Chain A
Amino acid sequence: MSIEVRDLSHIYGQGTPDEQAALQDISFVLHGGEMVALIGHTGSGKSTLVQHLNGLLKPNSGEIIVDGTDIARPGVSMLDIRRHVGLVFQYPEYQLFEETVAKDVAFGPKNLGLDAEEVDHRVREALTLVGLDYEAVKDRSPFDLSGGQKRKAAIAGVVAMRPDILILDEPTAGLDPGSHREIMEMVKRIHDSTRNITIFVTHDMNDVAALADKVLVMSRGRLLTVGSPTEVFSHRTQLSAVGLDVPPLMDLLGDLKEGGLPVRTEIFDLDEAADEICGALKKQKEK
């Protein structure tokens, strides 16, 4: 399983006064099992990019190759693409519409043409996987759930389609810290249970450091860098030039290093960082 994007460009509103190049010459490759973070300033084109990956938007030029098929070409079955690539939009809870949570989650699997038994099975599985109690929520109205629960139910609606590639656009936007943590733990749990490609858009650099295998950095419609979190975060000044931060911990270590304390800066773990700083301070004292 893989996704390859080649020279992808997209222009919104071509031929109108507000014509805008939202994506320019984007190219990257993702492989099976990778957990990918997509970061970038608001308006940098992240949402536009992910909508191309399941065929909701068509590129003005370029190719999007999912498992060997170019999905940008006309004549590809959209339902087939959506079976392979699941996209959870930003604020997905605004798309809930059914009377009960179970029915809402069943919407996607039903559209795939599965039989009733399989649909039920998938609904149960998906709700459990996102961390909701199936028996407790299945007959409740999705509009009665709490904010975090609504979000989980909406995500379950896509997870139930069992996509090979799961994309989440800012899954934690507007949530309290508790729900934020639960959602990110859920994303990790889903990724670990499927070992497929998971892409998440985020502004939280701690999540990037903790979860991602690969980071895509967008700026003004272009792909700035691709690399492991360690590689990407080692360019602190370059990131801040495009309005992005490194995780607070790395920021601290970077400041210490600039201030003259010889520490390694590529550390994402709090305890490890503490040890590193203590070690460096001790060494300095001995001298």
Chain B
Amino acid sequence: MLRDITLGQYYPAKSRIHQLDARVKIIGTLLYIVDLFVVQDFIGFAVLGAALAAVLVLARVPMGYIFRGLKPILLILIFTFFLNLFMVDGEVIWRIWILKVTKEGLYLALFMSIRLVLLITASSLLTLTTRPISLTDGLERLLSPLNRMGVPTHDIAMMMSIALRFIPTLLAEADKIMKAQQARGADFESGNVFRRGRALIPILIPLFVGAFRIAGDLAMAMEARCYRGGTGRTRMRQSVFGRVDYVALGACLVLFAAAILLRVLY
């Protein structure tokens, strides 16, 4: 069940989106996230939603896979929805017991939920369609201007890619530990908040110990292969911007401009 989490996972496929330069995808995703916060009405969301849908179709990642990734945030989504629904003051349209639903509340609840769904889908699409290696490379090259100011860009990019790479490993580890403690009669599903919190200790401690063990092993393996950090390191795959990349980047910029324009005009 923990293994269902697709956060930060790569979905192997051959598609236009997969083949794009990682830099385009990183910039595109960032612009899209800004778009989501610039836009103030449902027309804007409709445009942004349509754009995301087009990318989804091009990316050839099955819908079921993406929805599975959304499942873990469903709780947060429902929570924000109802919080907004009941907590916002304004014109009352419904009254259930002591709770009242206002027009503004309903509007805001829908608005926030759509924003959240688009945000998560767009950002997971970045990692779903980009190999961790390409992502690191792209990130490193985007950050490289900072290198001159003494920021260790290579190390930052490497750390991020290792973190991404180890999400599934740690989830698998957590899954195994959870099962092992369940086999000893541990119960994570019943009791109040405090009991459930305490029930996590038998999982968290071995998980921490395991994470350090894995990190130690990885460091050793990297050193054994003479890894010394970024200086003097060359790339196996030199990515160059192609025409498709420019087109895609252009499309992102146009969408960005449109979002700004909509905001300014209305």
Report yes or no: A82 in contact with B180, Cβ–Cβ below 8 A. no
Closest-by-CB residue of B relative to A107 is B184
Query: Which B residues are CB-close (under 8 A) to A95?
Result: 177, 180-181, 202, 206
Q: Is A39 an interface residue (CB 8 A)?
A: no
In the complex the two chains form, what is the Cα distance from A56 to B186 in whole Å?
12
The smallest beta-carbon distance between A93 and chain B, in angstroms, is: 9
Kindly state the interface size class of chain B when it binds its partner.
20 to 34
In the complex the two chains form, what is the Cα distance from A107 to B205 in whole Å?
14
Given the known inter-chain contacts A94-B210, A97-B201, A97-B202, please indicate yes or no for A82 contacting B179, CB distance below 8 A.
no
Q: Could you mark each residue 93-112 of chain A with 1 if its beta carbon is under 8 Å from any beta carbon of chain B, else 0?
A: 01111000000000110011
Report yes or no: B180 in contact with A89, Cβ–Cβ below 8 A. yes
Q: Could you mark each residue 72-99 of chain A with 1 if its beta carbon is under 8 Å from any beta carbon of chain B, else 0?
A: 0000001100110011110010111100
In the complex the two chains form, what is the Cα distance from A13 to B9 in whole Å?
15
The smallest beta-carbon distance between B152 and chain A, in angstroms, is: 33
Given the known inter-chain contacts A79-B187, A82-B185, please indicate yes or no for A94 contacting B64, CB distance below 8 A.
no
Report yes or no: B65 in contact with A89, Cβ–Cβ below 8 A. no
In the complex the two chains form, what is the Cα distance from A276 to B68 in whole Å?
63
In the complex the two chains form, what is the Cα distance from A111 to B183 in whole Å?
10
Query: Which B residues are CB-close (under 8 A) to A96?
Result: 206
Query: Which B residues are CB-close (under 8 A) to A82?
Result: 182-185
Q: Is B11 an interface residue (CB 8 A)?
A: yes
Report yes or no: A87 in contact with B183, Cβ–Cβ below 8 A. yes
Name the interface residues of A37-96: CB closer than 8 Å to any CB of B: 51, 54, 56, 78-79, 82-83, 86-89, 92, 94-96
**Chain B contact residues: over half helix, strand or loop, or mixed?**
helix
Given the known inter-chain contacts A54-B183, A56-B182, please indicate yes or no for A17 contacting B65, CB distance below 8 A.
yes
Query: Which B residues are CB-close (under 8 A) to A221?
Result: none
Q: Could you mark each residue 201-232 of chain B with 1 if its beta carbon is under 8 Å from any beta carbon of chain A, else 0?
A: 11001100110000000000000000000000
Kindly state the interface size class of chain A when it binds its partner.
20 to 34
Report yes or no: B186 in contact with A111, Cβ–Cβ below 8 A. yes
Question: Can you spell out 23 A-B residue pairs with CB atoms less than 8 angstroms apart?
Answer: A13-B3, A16-B64, A16-B68, A17-B12, A51-B179, A54-B183, A56-B183, A79-B187, A83-B185, A86-B183, A89-B180, A89-B183, A92-B180, A94-B210, A95-B181, A95-B202, A96-B206, A97-B201, A97-B202, A107-B181, A107-B184, A108-B185, A143-B209
Q: Which residues of B contact A (CB under 8 A)?
A: 3, 11-12, 62, 64-65, 68, 176-177, 179-187, 201-202, 205-206, 209-210
6 interchain residue pairs of minimum CB distance: A111-B185, A108-B184, A97-B205, A95-B180, A87-B183, A89-B180
